[in-house]
A and B are shown apart, each in its own frame.
Chain A
């Protein structure tokens, strides 16, 4: 792959024009603000300064959202209205219901698992000698992309026939204790759990870091007072530690819920949604881009949006309080 500057010139030119245009807009806004007389309540200034951001939000977020919603009531090619057909399809066809069921399983499993694994680990390594090392070990998977993790774990679950040399870690373990190799990713409904494990592996480190920081924030005198009162480690954890870091736990649960709802990469890399492992985001992509069924894809996107909204609202409200 050689980088040909001459061939890339049109793109560089576009880039320069883009940067220049950006500066022109910023200059225009600033000059405009400069012209308007400043009073105590700066409504005109606020409006002018917010206008570009609102415009971009409108073009980049609101308009596509409206269009997607409209598309979800249209036929696959987006040419005629289909009423609720796409939604009926989503909630009646067995293959679509499998996808919805899987998403529910993911959302019910991943956030609690990630949070509890992260929490237990954070408490265990708290104030030990190897804390930094132990935390970074668990945090490392976060540095790997979802696709990378998917590829790695596909090897872990890889299968070779009995009697042949196993290349998958899991099957090698099974074989070495006398078991038979299995095709882990091809056995619904268990295979979804094997995919969930990958997600927990990636995300547990994030939970550990956030919760560990929160635990460090608990004032020492509270812990000391509890100890003096004769609290057992168990009581200390449930009566002191956990209530003190409640908001951090909530943050982890919320971010994990949203991330899990949108999950796409792990499933796509590892099974492509085959063998009854599809989730909403995956099916949405397949329907809209591979099968040309834009309507069904849009309906799934709308459902995803509706599912994410309450979580986001909760988060925003929580922050405001």
Chain B
């Protein structure tokens, strides 16, 4: 007995053959890439050294989104058109988790912008990243201080050049408000606290803050702690803390966190425009400083990139609506700078990927990006006078100054379970009322034992 009669068998076979044919036919009908046909115009001379990559596509995965992502894409558009490649950019709000998912799923991007050296190191150690080419190595050595290059170096191998940068040791304020009320920019921590008292006495809550950031909620508070700790224990102590030679619940760290707490957990000092201390945990970091423009708060500690978040029409200038001053420590002669940035790492090394990587590591890219909007790069050879606003200029000068002691955001260098997990969570709980000792003990215990 047969389940299928003869004619049915034939139909089945024909169907399968037909599908296969359709598949191959489709495959041969491939058309050219949709971008990059504009080549060979006058503006392309600058990109001649990168070669032609007709039909090549480079996928870029990054945590940079929205306006900033548009600006990035506009900045490298001429490069893409002149080299004939297509750059598929994808920005995500969940980079830290999704990059792992994509790599595990066998679907890594060609290039990824890592904001955390610790995360980059994890992928480098797993052997999935391509080491920097000789060209990128040369560009990195030419453009970046050893402090910077060391953050993307794992076991002596360089895996990427830095891209953008930001200075975190800044306190935003309103020069107008300061002038009207006769307040002066503080030079030491004591002056800062006295100023806060003065402001609080006028009935205004001096500080405003917001640490809500989706999955990454808590990071602005960890920046606060890092900034103060860097001043309290010095650069060497800071490095020890980052590598866990100085335990997380060490009395020095507890003291630094409590020093931050004197501001962030002080109901008289926060949260201007938003409510009690706890409201810090539910206020989006993008909105943290906005009350300054409404006259409901006077001080907001946030990185240079906060220049992008002020409402439309806010003038960022030394005598304008908002500006920033250096977050002072106890000793005005020591001015260490805390900052952060992204590193360009590659999961493949096709010629077009290498070409884009080299372009991003050159001084041309930051220059092109800076012309379009607020942007900070720590690369040597970038002219600070081209900066989009005075705060960016201040930041670039700070970063390029050879005397500046620069330290990268510590939580970004720690193992992800601490730097992108326990520490963020601990600071959120701390804002929400848990005591300093308890949360730091927890972070310390969460440090991986291996």
Could you tell me which A residues sit within 8 Å of B by CB distance? Answer: 4, 6-7, 9, 12-13, 16-17, 19-20, 23-24, 27, 30-31, 33-34, 37-38, 75-77, 80, 93-95, 159-162, 183, 185-186, 272, 274-276, 285-287, 289-293
Residue in chain B with minimal CB distance to A4: B34
CB distance from B415 to the nearest CB of A (A): 7
Known: A16-B26, A290-B420. A274 touches B281 (CB 8 A): yes
CB distance from A7 to the nearest CB of B (A): 7
Q: Is B432's CB within 8 Å of the partner chain A?
A: yes
Could you tell me which B residues sit within 8 Å of A by CB distance? Answer: 1-4, 9, 12-13, 15-16, 19-20, 22-23, 26-27, 29-34, 96-97, 100-101, 122, 125-126, 214-215, 217-218, 273-276, 278-279, 281-282, 415-417, 420-422, 425, 428-429, 432, 442, 445-446, 448, 450
Q: List 8 additional A-B contacts (Cβ < 8 Å) besides A159-B275, A160-B275, A292-B100.
A: A13-B23, A19-B19, A37-B1, A80-B450, A93-B445, A159-B279, A183-B278, A289-B101
Known: A30-B4, A34-B4, A76-B448. A183 touches B282 (CB 8 A): yes
Main secondary structure, interface of A, reads: helix
Known: A16-B19, A290-B96. A6 touches B30 (CB 8 A): yes
Other-chain residue from B19, B26, B125, B429 in contact with A23 (beta carbon distance below 8 A): B19
> Could you say which residues of chain A place their CB within 8 Å of the CB of B100?
289-290, 292
Contact between chains at B215 and A290 (CB < 8 Å): yes
CB distance from A239 to the nearest CB of B (A): 50
Known: A13-B27, A20-B16. A186 touches B278 (CB 8 A): yes
Contact between chains at B432 and A275 (CB < 8 Å): yes
- Considering the chains assembled together, what is the distance between the CA atoms of A95 and B428 in angstroms? 14
Contact between chains at B421 and A290 (CB < 8 Å): yes
> Could you say which residues of chain B place their CB within 8 Å of the CB of A185?
282
CB distance from B194 to the nearest CB of A (A): 26
Other-chain residue from A7, A17, A31, A95 in contact with B23 (beta carbon distance below 8 A): A17
Contact between chains at B217 and A272 (CB < 8 Å): yes
Residue in chain A with minimal CB distance to B25: A16
Contact between chains at A16 and B23 (CB < 8 Å): yes
> Could you say which residues of chain A place their CB within 8 Å of the CB of B442?
94-95
A-B pairs under 8 A by CB, number? 116
> Could you say which residues of chain B place their CB within 8 Å of the CB of A276?
429
Residue in chain A with minimal CB distance to B16: A23
Contact between chains at B432 and A289 (CB < 8 Å): no
Other-chain residue from A24, A34, A285 in contact with B3 (beta carbon distance below 8 A): A34
- Considering the chains assembled together, what is the distance between the CA atoms of A183 and B20 in angstroms? 60
Count chain A CB atoms within 10 A of each CB in B1, B16, B96, B446 and give the residue with the most: B16
Known: A6-B31, A292-B415. A186 touches B16 (CB 8 A): no
CB distance from A302 to the nearest CB of B (A): 19
- Considering the chains assembled together, what is the distance between the CA atoms of A20 and B415 in angstroms? 45
Count chain B CB atoms within 10 A of each CB in A19, A20, A37, A95 and give the residue with the most: A20
- Considering the chains assembled together, what is the distance between the CA atoms of A291 and B421 in angstroms? 6
Task: Provide a sorted-by-A list of 22 A–B residue pairs whose CB atoms are within 8 angstroms.
Answer: A13-B27, A23-B16, A27-B12, A77-B126, A95-B422, A159-B282, A161-B273, A161-B276, A162-B275, A185-B282, A272-B214, A274-B425, A285-B97, A286-B421, A289-B101, A290-B96, A290-B97, A290-B100, A290-B416, A291-B417, A291-B420, A292-B100
- Considering the chains assembled together, what is the distance between the CA atoms of A186 and B20 in angstroms? 58
> Could you say which residues of chain B place their CB within 8 Å of the CB of A19?
19
Contact between chains at B421 and A186 (CB < 8 Å): no
- Considering the chains assembled together, what is the distance between the CA atoms of A93 and B33 in angstroms? 54
- Smallest CB-CB A-B distances: 8 pairs: A161-B275, A291-B417, A16-B23, A20-B19, A291-B421, A289-B97, A6-B31, A290-B97
Contact between chains at A6 and B34 (CB < 8 Å): yes
Contact between chains at A23 and B15 (CB < 8 Å): yes
> Could you say which residues of chain B place their CB within 8 Å of the CB of A186?
278, 281-282, 432
> Could you say which residues of chain B place their CB within 8 Å of the CB of A272?
214-215, 217
Other-chain residue from B2, B3, B20, B27 in contact with A20 (beta carbon distance below 8 A): B20
- Considering the chains assembled together, what is the distance between the CA atoms of A24 and B218 in angstroms? 53
> Could you say which residues of chain B place their CB within 8 Å of the CB of A160?
275
> Could you say which residues of chain A place their CB within 8 Å of the CB of B31?
6
